[in-house]
Structure 1
Amino acid sequence: MKTNKTSRTAQFMALFRAIETQRNQSDKLFSDPFAIHFLEPKLRFAVRLSKNTVIRKYISNVIQQKIPGAFSSGLARTKYIDDLLQTTIKDGVNQLIILGAGFDTRAMRLELLKAIPTIEIDHPNTSNFKIQTLKNRIGPLSKNITYCQIDFNTQSLDQLAEQHNFDFTKPTTILWEGVTNYLNADAIDKTFAFISRFPKGSYVIFTYVHSDILTNPDAFLGGKKLLDDLEKLEERWTFGFLPSELNDYLNRFDLTLIDDLSAVNYREKYVPNRNESGYEFYRVAIAKK
């Protein structure tokens, strides 16, 4: 990420959620009325136009040409994680920590989370932009959310936890969406070691990319172009897992893999009628301590 800018990929995800919110109530996967506020003016204009079915289809086709599979994958992923998150709350979790929160608005838009203490952790550029945008365009910040700032590649979550007196006695869900692919192996290990400090009954929900996308991007539709575009944005992907090795890796941190779905799987589950291909290398996993 450029040092003086917010994450461009966080903007893309907000754009996808904002467009989905414009769909008819009976046809939308979810509603995120906050997402549009994080967008540049021209993107906000496009979102408002997307209420028209023809224009929405045109925008969807443009996105598909530029980033095959990203749009439908991002929407299905959002809904899937919403459902996973709410399942963990119903299972007794009473604290949420969002690592690399970006423009995630779940703590505001999901009714079940409004009574759950939430800690959002992100890079200062994105975090400060998010806070200021919420204050300027929506109003007072939600009282259940605490915002903390960190650079995951250079700073320690343990130090941050000590500084802000994190409570490691509560069953906690740690949500880590859209981050692991930007880190290095050491940062990944340290983050899972941090996650392992939470008590039995805690969960981690995280995304990752299949490691083959980094070594053989041509094996995936649009893979090479995507990596080239990310390089230009200075948001290069640097880490992936082999799905076959994930369970053993998590066991090192006293975590048991519950499920691990690819974009193919959660698209089939949530958007079977939106015919897109691409982004098959992107995955969502959930594990429990």
Structure 2
Amino acid sequence: MILSGVRAQVTTRSHYTERRLAELASRGLTQYVILGAGLDTFAYRSPLAAQLAVFEVDHPATQRWKRGLLAAAGITPPGGLAFVGADFESDTLGRRLVSGGFDPARPALVSWLGVSMYLTGEAIAATLAEIGRLSPGSELIMEYALPPALRDDRGASYAGIAMAASAERGEPWLSFFTPEELSATLAVHGLKVAEHVRQEQAVTAGLWRRHDPLVPADVCRLVRATT
């Protein structure tokens, strides 16, 4: 159940984000920032990446691990990709991005998926403050974990297993938001909410008409906000 839940969560959030990225790129957007990129594969598999400057932001140790895996697999990072080392708990995002070649005068789409639940409220606020200062026309798509009272039954089961497994690896879930709480936090930092999205809304409804374990769970949601 947990593996199916992870698969559904990762696939649907990426689909939603990359669909929005394609829409913005068709209107002239040229910068894409992936916060907490980890082993994200967008820059290596999507034809859209050739039109964009892509910035993978993550802890330097994680990036060394990823680059080692790429080298071992014989995969050369594309020319339009920049690795930006940053610790969300201590570094200033804007400064790190600019040092990696980011143009603060041009808008960007920032994706922040599968990360905020592992950070303190202070780190989240600091990062949102940096995003809120990006060029007008920039957008943020952020995944956030719901507090227990808002999870459905499947989400509660998923969260119980996922949180225990994460804590065992030394990465406990630290931050949870209701949609209203997160909207208020975003507003403080100059970001206006366009929509909150449940997992079941992130892909075409017909894709959920299935008989395998890949069904939606309300444990995390997406928010899209603009500067």
Question: Do these two structures clear the TM 0.5 threshold for a shared fold by scoring above it?
Answer: yes
Q: Whose relative contact order is higher, 1 or 2, with alpha carbons under 8 Å and at least 6 apart? A: 2
Say whether 1:226 aligns with 2:167.
no
Say whether 1:95 aligns with 2:31.
yes
Equivalent residues in 2 for 1:108-147, closer than 5 Å: 108-147=44-83
Partner of 1:18: none
1:256/1:287 contact within 8 Å kept: yes
Give the letter for the 1:286 counterpart.
Answer: R
Equivalent residues in 2 for 1:250-265, closer than 5 Å: 250-265=186-201
Give the direction of change, closer, same or farther, for the CA distance of 1:278–1:161 in structure 2 (3 Å limit). Answer: closer
Q: Structure 1 stretches of 5 or more lacking a match?
A: 1-63
Say whether 1:188 aligns with 2:121.
no
Equivalent residues in 2 for 1:44-193, closer than 5 Å: 64=1, 66-67=2-3, 69-161=5-97, 163-164=99-100, 166-193=102-129
RMSD: 2.6
* Partner SS, residue 135 of structure 1: helix
Say whether 1:283 aligns with 2:221.
yes
Give the letter for the 1:142 counterpart.
Answer: P
1:67/1:226 contact within 8 Å kept: no
Q: Structure 2 stretches of 5 or more lacking a match?
A: none
2:84/2:97 contact within 8 Å kept: no
**Count of aligned pairs:** 225
Deviations 1:115-154 (A, max 9, x none): 2111111012221121122223133221000101122113
1:241 is displaced (CA, Å) by 1.2
1:244 is displaced (CA, Å) by 2.4
Question: Segments of 4+ in structure 1 off by > 3 A?
Answer: 161-166, 267-270, 274-279
1:159 is displaced (CA, Å) by 4.0
Q: Distance in 2 between matches of 1:183 and 1:231?
A: 13
Give the direction of change, closer, same or farther, for the CA distance of 1:164–1:68 in structure 2 (3 Å limit). Answer: closer
Q: Distance in 2 between matches of 1:128 and 1:156?
A: 20
Say whether 1:212 aligns with 2:152.
no
Give the letter for the 1:280 counterpart.
Answer: D
Q: Distance in 1 between matches of 2:142 and 2:161?
A: 24
Q: Distance in 1 between matches of 2:5 and 2:208?
A: 13
* Partner SS, residue 287 of structure 1: strand
1:183 is displaced (CA, Å) by 0.5
2:155/2:219 contact within 8 Å kept: no
Q: Indicate the percent of aligned positions where both proteins have the same amino acid.
A: 25
1:135/1:141 contact within 8 Å kept: no
**TM-score, normalised via structure 1 length:** 0.70
Q: Distance in 2 between matches of 1:219 and 1:274?
A: 18
1:68/1:279 contact within 8 Å kept: no
